[in-house]
Structure 1
Amino acid sequence: MDYLSSLKVKGLVIGPLHVNPKDDQARTNLREVDSTLGTLAEFRDVLQAAKKKSLKVILDLTPNYRSESPWFGQPMDQNYDLQEKMKEAIEFWLKEGVSGIQVGSVESLNDTQILDSWKNLTEQYADDHARVLIAVTRKQDAPGIFSLLNETAGVDVLTSEYLAGLAKSDQDDAKKGETASQMIKNYIRAAGDKWAGWSLARTSSGYLDAFRGEQLLRLYHMLLYTLPGTPFTDYGDEIGLRDLPGQPAASSAIRMQWDNSANFGFSKEAQQAGSQATSNVTVQVRFKPGVPLPISVHFSEV
């Protein structure tokens, strides 16, 4: 929390961390912390530590997060049991003190009234501070995202992988800059008076340094964080954390590299066999106290 506060971060998204046997709706418990990730008491400690630093904690509550089908492969408007469990869980975590809820793959929700009902819950708990509902989509195509912008009007922020295509582009730098400029203008125009969400280096497209280059890291952040709306960045992007060679982030969980000790300071457990650093980029090496990077929202996934 000290580190995030020094980066001028305003909030972080954590999780999902609830009990979720893959594709098993009956045994999925949205109100219980997976014991392999921690305990409810430890999560409460996280909330208190964040509060002392005036940091907002958003909890990702995507139900079936261990699967490619986050909503258990059923039409959500017919899955009344899951709808009820989501409402109960949202209320539970808001009462625990989270500042909002995030849900992924909202393009798979075939009833926008469901999002509206969840938004009503977050608004009801806006007592000491506002609570938010963040929607995430895997869509990258402009028409699909712009359509969702209208359909998800009830959420506070819709974030997508709209800009991820730039990472895979084989255009030269000048042409890529023109393409990015036009894409951003189109998105702002389509968003209209709706609040925009910006992200690029999500887990499916790899870490930021993989395609921006270490020398342009701070410049990229400056450009991203001056766009109108809310910017999101993955943990490690602020130091230039890289993917494992030949393995994009979607296929390999990359640990945050705090230092060069066992497990890179991420855990006190014995170092795992075959564990190796993705690079020599660590917080200890890169971060210099008193020289904050221009980051205002920090995205983190367990």
Structure 2
Amino acid sequence: MNWWNEGPLYQISNVNEFSDNGLKGVDEKLDYLNQMKVKGLILGPIHSVQTDQTSTLELTSINPEFGTESDLQTLLDRAHRKGMSIVLNLTPNYGNAGISAWFNKAASVTEKLKEACIYWLGKGVDGIFLSDLKQIAKTEAWTSIQAIFNKTDETKKIALMGSVTDLSVDEVSLLLNHTSVDLLLTGLPDPGEAGIKQANVIQKLYASHPQTSLGWSLSGQILGSLASRSQSVPVRLYHTLLFTLPGTPVFSAGDEVGLKKGEKLQAMWDMESQADGANATAKGDHIAVHDFFKALSDLKAKERALLHGEYVSLNSSATSLAYLRLWDQSERFVFAMNWGSDSVSMTLVNEDLPAEGRVRATTNAESLPLDSMVSVKKLELGPKRAVLLSYPYAG
């Protein structure tokens, strides 16, 4: 495994929205992130550019609105001491009204991109992230960009990461083969699709590529917040899904507390302050979601089956999904979710499954209490519920 496979990654697209103090503010929040077992930050973009103006692009210069290079260096040093890596988003055109992430002509910025990759990696950045990867990967310069990342230092591998949206699973697979990026965020599986199709997407990607290259992210600048994408379904269902899929879960700032569209990131920092009335209710919801997120992240960090175990599909229907994660003689895990409006009864069949499993995470502690024992082979799940069960290796 590489460092980006050891726990969740956390995207901070706009450092000024995340904190009032830009890069210094991110530095001040490292303890908060460390408590959630975050292994790496995908930061920015933070470079200088005027929207849609290629001539103003300075990928090796930090926009003073966000801070200075000295601020970034301090952040790098402190993050590394906490075992956290920093990936810099170098997507060139990131203004609100941008014509395209690559100015509609990715080839025009490839030389600046190569120069910036070498520059920032030399400063100790642990990886580079590129949005709309398909555009830059089509250029003749892509091979020379790849070559920068094929040089591995003696202690820690640097990562080339990217993201795409609105591609089919077959298109994603072709792109992974062509680009050989270390981690690709795909926006798949689509929460709006039927469980059968989601299961097929997961199986295709898992069967065709090493799980170390699969980044599971359902949120971001283009996709929106995780809670907004799943408005009819509690966000904790998708937390559980992302933390248990074979690969790396990637969240956007605010996903860990279930921020919805229109809610500001400041709500994360308000969790420690006094609140009353409607604010108290919202604060309570955010705290509950945050605690659930942390518990899942703790499990991911210490359970080998969840970190790098095999994935076995067990059941799928229009509104439900279930699968098994297992590794060698380690504890096994069964994940099941039902985002429909009716209860479901899942018949799970696999020679490894026992009669019962222990509840390790649940979105409904009343009917499926933590640490209770429930039937595995005939699993009953209420509407809009998810559960994570475990059982020991039986030999």
| TM range, smaller chain | 0.7 to 0.9
Whole-angstrom distance in 2 between the partners of 1:137 and 1:149: 11
TM-score computed with the length of structure 1 as normaliser: 0.75
Residues of 1 paired with 2:162 and 2:293: CA distance?
Answer: 32
Q: Does the aligned pair in 1 maintain the 2:162–2:185 contact within 8 Å? A: yes
- Indicate whether 1:156 and 2:182 are aligned: yes
Fraction of identical pairs, as percent: 28
Identify which of 65, 70, 77 aligns with 2:94: 65
Q: Is the 8 A contact 2:258 2:289 kept in 1?
A: no
Q: 252, 256, 260: which one pairs with 1:242? A: 260
Distance across 1 between alignment mates of 2:186 and 2:237: 21
Q: Decide which moves more: 17-26 or 67-76.
A: 67-76
Deviation at 1:144, TM superposition (A): 2.0
Note if 1:52 corresponds to 2:81: yes
Q: Kindly indicate whether structure 1 or structure 2 has the higher relative contact order, using CA contacts under 8 Å at least 6 residues apart.
A: 1
The CA deviation at 1:74 is 1.8
The answer for the alignment partner of 1:89 in structure 2 is 116
Q: Distance in 2 between matches of 1:59 and 1:22?
A: 19
- Closer, same or farther in 2 for the Cα pair 1:256/1:232, shift >3 Å? farther
Q: Deviations over 1:148-201 (max 9, x none)?
A: 122112x111211222x324x5xxxxxx33332222123323436872221112
Paired residue total: 261
After superposition, give the CA deviation of every residue in 1:75-120 in whole Å (9 maximum; x if it has no partner).
51xx3xx222111111111111110000111111253653332232
State the partner residue of 1:30.
Answer: 59
CA distance in 1, matches of 2:291, 2:135: 43
Secondary structure in structure 2 of the residue aligned to 1:180: helix
Counterparts in 2 of 1:291 and 1:260: CA distance versus 1, 3 Å: closer
How far has the Cα of 1:134 moved from its partner? 0.3
Q: CA offset at residue 69 of structure 1?
A: 1.3
Return closer, same or farther for 1:10/1:110 CA change in 2, 3 Å cut-off.
closer
- Pick one of 36, 41, 48 that aligns with 1:7: 36
Matches within 5 A, 1:136-285: 136-153=163-180, 155-163=181-189, 165-167=190-192, 176-191=194-209, 195-212=213-230, 216-244=234-262, 254-260=264-270, 280-281=282-283, 285=287
Alignment CA distance shift 1:288-1:208 (3 Å): closer
**Letter of the 1:280 counterpart:** A
The residue that corresponds to 1:132 in the other structure is 159
Does 2:149 match 1:119?
Answer: no
Contact 1:238–1:293 (Cα < 8 Å) also in 2: no
Instruction: Give the SS at the match of 2:42.
Output: strand
Q: Structure 1 pair 128/209, CA: closer, same or farther in 2 (3 Å)?
A: same
Q: Deviations over 1:223-280 (max 9, x none)?
A: 31222222211111111111128xxxxxxxx53523339xx9xxxxxxxxxxxx9x93
Mapped partners of 1:12, 1:21: distance in 2: 24
Cα offset, 1:52, TM superposition: 1.7
> 3-state DSSP class of the match of 2:267?
coil
Contact 2:137–2:179 (CA under 8 A) maintained in structure 1: no
Question: Taking structure 1 as reference, are residues 137 and 213 closer, same or farther at Cα in structure 2, changes over 3 Å only?
Answer: closer
Q: Is the 8 A contact 2:90 2:129 kept in 1?
A: yes
Higher strand share: 2
Counterparts of 1:291 and 1:208, CA distance in 2 = 13
Partner in structure 2 of residue 272 of structure 1: none
The aligned counterpart of 2:343 is none
RMSD value over aligned CA atoms? 3.1
- Work out whether residues 236 and 256 of structure 1, in 8 Å CA contact, stay in contact via their aligned partners in 2: no
Per the TM alignment, residue 8 of structure 1 is displaced from its structure 2 partner at its CA by 0.9
Query: CA shift at 1:281, angstroms?
Result: 4.2
Letter in 1 for 2:294: P
In the other structure, the counterpart of 2:369 is none
Partner in structure 1 of residue 132 of structure 2: 105
Contact 1:94–1:125 (CA<8 Å) still a contact in 2? no
SS at match of 1:135: strand
Q: 2:48: which partner in 1?
A: 19
CA contact (8 A) 1:100 1:131 kept: yes
Identify the residue that residue 248 of structure 1 maps to in structure 2.
Answer: none
Q: What residue ranges of structure 1 are gaps of 5+ in the alignment?
A: 170-175, 246-253, 265-276, 298-302
Greater Rg over alpha carbons, structure: 2
